[in-house]
Amino acid sequence: MGGTLNFSIKTETIKGWRLLSVPFIFSLLLLAAPLTMMFLLSFWTQDYLTLDKTFTLNNYIEAATQPVYRLLFTRSLLISLTATFFTVALAFPMAYFISFHCGERKALWLFLITIPFWTSYLIRMFLWKVILGYNGVLNSFLLWLEMITEPVTFLLYNANAVVLALTHGWAPFAILPIFVSLEKIDRSLLEASKDLGDSPIDQFFRIILPLSAPGVIGAALIIFIPTVGDYITPKLVGGTDGLMIANMIQVQFSKANNAPLAAALSMSSLMIVSFISIVFVLFNKKYLRRY
């Protein structure tokens, strides 16, 4: 009995792995191996073109102690967290509007929201530079309307510009998951809560918000994790005050010829991001139960 039972499970395993092994091995070779390699490299030293493979923690010590790296880490986290907060905060009412107030037009609204994001990310971020610049669209528009007498300079080349561009650039990644979680809420629950005496505001905080929490948490992670490592946005609209860790990784890797330090910076940011994400998920664990 036991043997034959194992046999049928075994065939499922064989059939499954026969298909999955190809993409899995591909990911092992192109993701796991490079990450491991980067991890190893972060403990080595590079002197121009020669690589010293003796184990050292110097790169990590440098990453942790040098003020410039600490500044870049904290700035990247702050920018990313702020952008995540604003993106989610703006996306929630939008998703709520589509899910609860659009009736038949849901698909149309979702379509309308995604269209602007069919422009490449690179060009969209560049357009923010065009909008916010000294001779840019916004300044020229305001001058034309005679609302200002000379162009304002505080718009571009700072951390705020990066936050603004990111809040714009990642909007659909917040709207869609939140929308999906709102859609999943059984509408009869709302009727039940109303029937049991909830006001619309009670209903929002006692039913809608907790039940859509998985979508909100998902959206926050989907935006936070990649934006910490964003390269394009700070490079285009950040100026020197808005540069982030990814820009430094790139500099260390190419111009400064210090790949081990770049690797250590990459690994450090990966670890910091993972740590914050895990804490964030644990903190919200009670909302992630399956309903």
Partner 1 sequence: MSNQVEVQNVIKSFGSVKAVDGVSLEISEGQFFSLLGPSGCGKTTLLRLIAGFEVPNSGNILIDNKSMDGIAPNFRPTNMVFQNYAIFPHLNVEENVSYGLRKKNLSKNEKSKMINDSLDLVGLSGLNLRSSNALSGGQKQRVALARALILKPKVLLLDEPLSALDKKLREQMQSELRHLQRAVGITFVLVTHDQEEALTMSDKVAVMFDGKVEQIASPRELYEKPSTQRVASFIGAMNFTNGKILNSGKVLKIKSNILGEFELPMNQISGKPTDENIEIGIRPERIKINPVKTNSKDLIDGKIIDISYFGETTYYKLKCGERSETLNVSTQNSFGQMDYKIGELVKFEVDNKSIVGFYS
Partner 2 sequence: MSNSGKYLKIFAFSYLVFLYAPSLLLPIFSFNKSQVIAFPLTGFSFQWFETLLYQDSLHQALKNSLIVAISSCILATILGTLASRATTRYDFKGKQVSLTFILAPLILPEIIVGVSLLIVLIQLGITLNVWSVILGHTLLLTPFSIIIMNSAFNNLDISLEEASMDLGENQFGTFYRVILPLVLPGIIASLLIGFTLSLDEFIIAFFLTGTDTTLPVYIWSQFRFPKKLPTTMALGTILLIVSLILLSLSEYFRRRTSRSNNSILEE
DSSP states of 74-126 as a string? HHHHHHHHHHHHHHHHHHHHHHHHHHHH-GGGHHHHHHHHHGGGGS-HHHHHH
H/E element, 169: helix 159-169
Number of helices followed by number of strands (H, E) in the chain: 15, 2
Smaller CB separation from partner 1, 10 or 285: 10
Smaller CB separation from partner 1, 9 or 145: 9
Q: Are 262 and 252 in contact (CB under 8 A)?
A: yes
Q: Are 163 and 244 in contact (CB under 8 A)?
A: no
Residue 8 contacts which entry, partner 2, partner 1, none (Cβ below 5-8 A, type-dependent): partner 1
- 10 Å CB burial of residue 115 (0-12, 13-18, 19+) is exposed
- Is 148 near partner 2 (CB under 8 A)? no
Among 2, 3, 23, 197, which residue sits at the site for partner 2 (rule: CB under 8 A)? Answer: 23
Interacting residues with partner 2 between 69 and 108 (CB under 8 A): 90, 93-94, 96-98, 101
Q: Are 233 and 156 in contact (CB under 8 A)?
A: no
Residue 32 contacts which entry, partner 1, partner 2, none (Cβ below 5-8 A, type-dependent): partner 2
- Is 120 near partner 1 (CB under 8 A)? no
| Shortest Cβ 252–partner 2 spacing (Å) | 10
* Candidate ranges 34-42, 64-72, 152-160, 278-286; the one touching partner 2 (CB under 8 A): 34-42
Q: CB 143: neighbour CB atoms within 10 A?
A: 15
Residues ≥6 apart with Cβ < 8 Å to 222: 173, 174, 177
* Candidate ranges 21-29, 182-190, 206-214, 282-290; the one touching partner 2 (CB under 8 A): 21-29
Q: How far is CA 193 from CA 44, 97, 211, 290, in A?
A: 61, 20, 13, 20
**Range list of β-strands (E), 134-270:** none
Contact string 232-261 vs partner 2 (x = CB under 8 A)? x---x---------x--xx--x-----x--
Contact string 7-46 vs partner 1 (x = CB under 8 A)? -x--------------------------------------
Q: CB 72: neighbour CB atoms within 10 A?
A: 22
| Shortest Cβ 83–partner 2 spacing (Å) | 14
Among 4, 54, 65, 120, which residue sits at the site for partner 1 (rule: CB under 8 A)? Answer: 4
- Is 5 near partner 1 (CB under 8 A)? yes
- 10 Å CB burial of residue 276 (0-12, 13-18, 19+) is middle
Contact string 103-142 vs partner 2 (x = CB under 8 A)? ------x-xxx-xxxxxxxxxx-xxx-xx---xxx-xxx-
| Shortest Cβ 126–partner 2 spacing (Å) | 6
| Shortest Cβ 13–partner 2 spacing (Å) | 4
Chain residues binding partner 1 by CB under 8 A are: 1, 4-5, 8
